[in-house]
Structure 1
């Protein structure tokens, strides 16, 4: 078995860098670790801290192809974030004019969860512990 400690980061390519930067910092509340512009690639790289534990990397590239979200395609299905209170998180997002799906119950764990979409329609899940 490989000696893997934990997930280090998740990388997301975005179509509109400023819009996604706003979403992940102002709406989601992630803290900026560092922001780099790579002129040779015409690309930004934004490292974000998720509660001081994990990192999301946002990348911008000129004209990336659209991501297929629906119907679901092979590859990364969604990002999921653990929260203490699903109803509270959903209400906070609704006050920021974010479209939220209805809260559902996981049929196996009995836990509550719901989804939103980021600016590129990447599904983002909030799962109650």
Structure 2
């Protein structure tokens, strides 16, 4: 099927507001392996903005002074989690564990037969590893 010029082509980025910018930057860059594309401090907002990329995925990581917490558990309405494609869930779980990041037990998706697990970023944002 041919795409029209106004069609959505895919996701460009996901924006995340961190309560501790340096901790979250370390998590996404040093633990998960995202690459910093650009990083800017916006003095007028007392806020950092860091553009991160891995594969085709991009995250905008922000800091804002006194940002209110967002409910993510129990299953709240809205964005449920972010899922990352991996070749080997077990290997990535071991990598996370070596950085002190706990994950749930690895499970099998009953509909696709693929392995997956959940873990959280420093602010408790639910993240998923999904084996492709």
Maintained 8 Å contact 1:67/1:120: no
Quick check: 1:23 aligned with 2:27?
yes
**How do residues 21-60 of structure 1 correspond to structure 2 at under 5 angstroms?**
21-51=25-55, 53-60=56-63
TM-score, length-scaled by structure 2: 0.93
Equivalent residue pairs, number: 128
Structure 1 CA distance for aligned equivalents of residues 106 and 37 of structure 2: 32
Maintained 8 Å contact 1:31/1:48: yes
Partner residue of 2:70?
67
Q: What is the Cα deviation at residue 102 of structure 1?
A: 0.4
Structure 1 segments unaligned to the other structure (5+ residues): none
Quick check: 1:91 aligned with 2:73?
no
Structure 1 stretches of at least 4 aligned residues deviating more than 6 Å after TM superposition: none
Q: How large is the Cα RMSD of the aligned pairs?
A: 1.1
